[in-house]
Amino acid sequence: MKARLLMGATLVVALFSFTAEASMHWVPAPAVKGHGHAGHGGGHGGGNSRHAGETYLLHGGEGAETQLMSPHLAVKALQPEQGRVSVKAMGTGNYHALVAKRSAGELHESAIRYIYMNGKPSGVSPSLLIGHEKSALEIEPAPLAREHWRYYSGTDAVFVIRYRGEPLAGASMSMTTGNGSSAEFTADATGRVTVPLPQDFTYEKPGRAANPPAEFLLTARHGDDGQRFITTFSYDYHINPQHWQSTELGLAMVGGGMLLGGFMTLRKRRRKEKK
Amino acid sequence: MPVWKNLSVIRKVVQLLAFLFLVYGSVFVGFYSADKISGAFPALACAYDAKTADYCVLIPLQHQLGHGVGRAIGAGTFALSMLLPVLTTLATFLLLFVLLNKAFCGWLCPLGFFQEVLGMIGQKLRLNRTESLDEKVVDRIRPAKWLMLGLLVILFPLASGIGFVGHELGDPFCKICPSRILTSLAAGQLNQLYIDTSSTGYMILSIIADTLFGLILVLSLTMRQPFCRICPMLAMHAIFKKIGLVRLVKNYTPRCDKCGLCAKACPMDIREIHTSKEKDILMPDCTLCGRCVEFCPDKGVMAMKYAVIPIKVSDPQYFKERNRAQKQWEGKQKPSRRVKKD
Ligand code: SF4
Ligand code: SF4
Ligand code: SF4
């Protein structure tokens, strides 16, 4: 129990340590009781939102309009209470988007987060939702780590920055993580940015459950015709399982299996010859 | 025999295209098409492959049983609606299954294709092959697929959801599935080949997975489709085999008693197709590869049909040509050591 409390505490610190000066963005709310937070589920979608009624916080989003978009692009308005929204499955499963938008004068801000919902198979590809223009400036995961891949420290994640639906060449983007790393990036001619997720976890114990995820936050900015646009993409990333998974041992084991196969084949042949 | 007439060659081409699509599909049709196509494919198309276009039914099934049904039972909140995702998965599976029946195995499964290709390499390397397994061995192996389905796909995930067994047994079939290692390696990922040292359970499962993969690599060279014989997908298919549109039929004649060429041609060693006097000879282990029809020398005795439309009917002329093509392909077999001693 103590360990769990401690884990929860470090997690909350990890989740919010970058929020001080960051732009408007979504984070999973720490769980009130029980196990972990919303990002702690099991299998799918980077572990988001396994059950009905997950809560997310919109940071720095006073006065923003918030909505939940289904894989079919159906939109449901959300009513935040003190920056918290509780999202319940809309019946269908698969990836949904949490969208927050706010405009003041020439400044247009948006925050987008994808969450996995359990429910009846939606029958449409998440690419519909991800490719759909939800705000003028947008960071599109290409692809979103899904199902059985997650964002892992020490691996590359690819994003495309789009402005009014088109890739934005040379756009600038920054990253901060809950573990204290930060980096700046510039998109290539096709608007693509490859983000090496930092190896900034302190390795505690073997196993995914023993190593809670942290959040990373991407922020892109763009100015056009006197108008300023800011958008954020946030998601969780996990410690690289290589800490407790050995490829070398795996290869050795395959070799062992091959030897066993060879042995079985020979024995079978000898037996046949004896007959 | 012209290759385009050879059913086995046609099948290989289809298998190759299916392999390309199922392993690298996202390159052609974009990511996430899995969810678009079905999300419940009736063959081992793997969700762990980063380039996949689709994934097999076993993964949502294990997850829904474990995370949904199992957890709900564990928490004492089980409602019938919990079964809905499972039923939807099964329904999507059935939809595709009705269209193609077990032909998923013989025509589309990446792992089945891989094993067959290894077998062909074995043939070319002139390795001493076991064309048919001993009857007793076959009988002993057959129940294994039901155990794989019952225990690894259904019971353990449920028990894990309820909390009886650890989290590692939440999707135990995926943990040992050779298709996971194969397809991810084929897509250039080494990350599915590992020994997991985080707990005894994970360690044992990963040892089983890697050993099994190595075993299949070697056994496939000299034995036909070793993994298929214990594959839970065969069992899963067998449950529903009556509703598929593709059928395998036989018009028994007394000559069948003497011949038995069909059973010899069958990679799954289904001797019943030779001895059975029934019309419907689609057996639980069948992969609908059609070899039995190709190698039946009697006109119209064996047929593969789509509903009532015959796709392939046995024919003496075809048999003759097909047999010759087979001998040509195999070349002169290396005489076994026993023959040499004689
Ligand atoms: S590991 Fe095997 S059972 Fe699991 S999704 Fe991949 S192919 Fe299907
Ligand atoms: S039985 Fe063979 S061909 Fe069929 S799904 Fe299993 S591995 Fe693939
Ligand atoms: S019974 Fe015929 S179609 Fe089925 S696996 Fe055997 S040879 Fe292939």
Closest residue of chain B to A141, computed from CA coordinates: B31
Average pLDDT over chain A, rounded to an integer: 84
Task: Nearest by CB to A256, from B32, B170, B214: name it.
Answer: B214
Question: Which ligand has an atom closest to residue B107 CA?
Answer: 2
Read off the pLDDT band of A48 (50, 70, 90).
very low
ipTM, two decimals, is 0.90
For A235, how many CA atoms within 13 A lie in the half-sphere containing its CB? Answer: 27
* pLDDT tens readout for residues A189-203: 999 999 999 999 998
| pTM assigned to the model | 0.85
Q: Average pLDDT for residues B303-323, to the nearest whole number?
A: 94
Question: Helix or strand or coil: residue B49?
Answer: coil
* pLDDT tens readout for residues B125-147: 988 888 889 899 999 999 999 99
Nearest ligand 2 atom to the CA of B110 is: 8
CA A248 – CA B4 distance, rounded (Å) = 44
pLDDT at B330: 83
pLDDT at A50: 43
DSSP letter at A275? -
Please name every residue paired with A94 in a beta bridge, in sequence order, or none if there are none. Answer: A117
Whether the pLDDT of residue A47 is over 50: the answer is no
- Ordered by start, the domain boundaries in chain B are 3-237, 245-328
Q: Per the CB < 8 Å rule, is A44 touching B337?
A: no
Q: Token match 């250039």: residue? A: B188
DSSP letter at A202? P
The answer to which of A103-117, B68-82, B95-109, B116-130 has the lowest mean pLDDT is B68-82
* pLDDT tens readout for residues B148-204: 999 999 999 999 999 999 988 999 999 999 999 999 999 998 989 999 999 999 999
Residue A273 contacts B where some CB pair is shorter than 8 Å? yes
CA A67 – CA A75 distance, rounded (Å) = 7
Residues of A in Cβ contact (< 8 Å) with B221: 265
Question: Helix or strand or coil: residue A192?
Answer: strand
Q: Per the CB < 8 Å rule, is B206 touching A253?
A: yes
The DSSP secondary structure of B297-338, one letter per residue, reads: -STTTEEEEETTEEEEE--HHHHHHHHHHHHHHH-SPPPPHH
Pocket test for ligand 2, best of B93, B227, B241 (most atoms within 8 A of CB): B227
Residues 6+ apart with CB under 8 A from B313: B293, B299, B300, B302, B303, B304
CA distances from B1 to B4, B324, B328, B331 (A): 8, 8, 10, 16
User: How far away, in angstroms, is B201 Cα from ligand 1 center?
Assistant: 19
Q: Note whether B303 and B312 are within 8 A (CB).
A: yes
Q: Rg of chain A over CA atoms, in angstroms?
A: 22
Q: Note whether B294 and B319 are within 8 A (CB).
A: yes
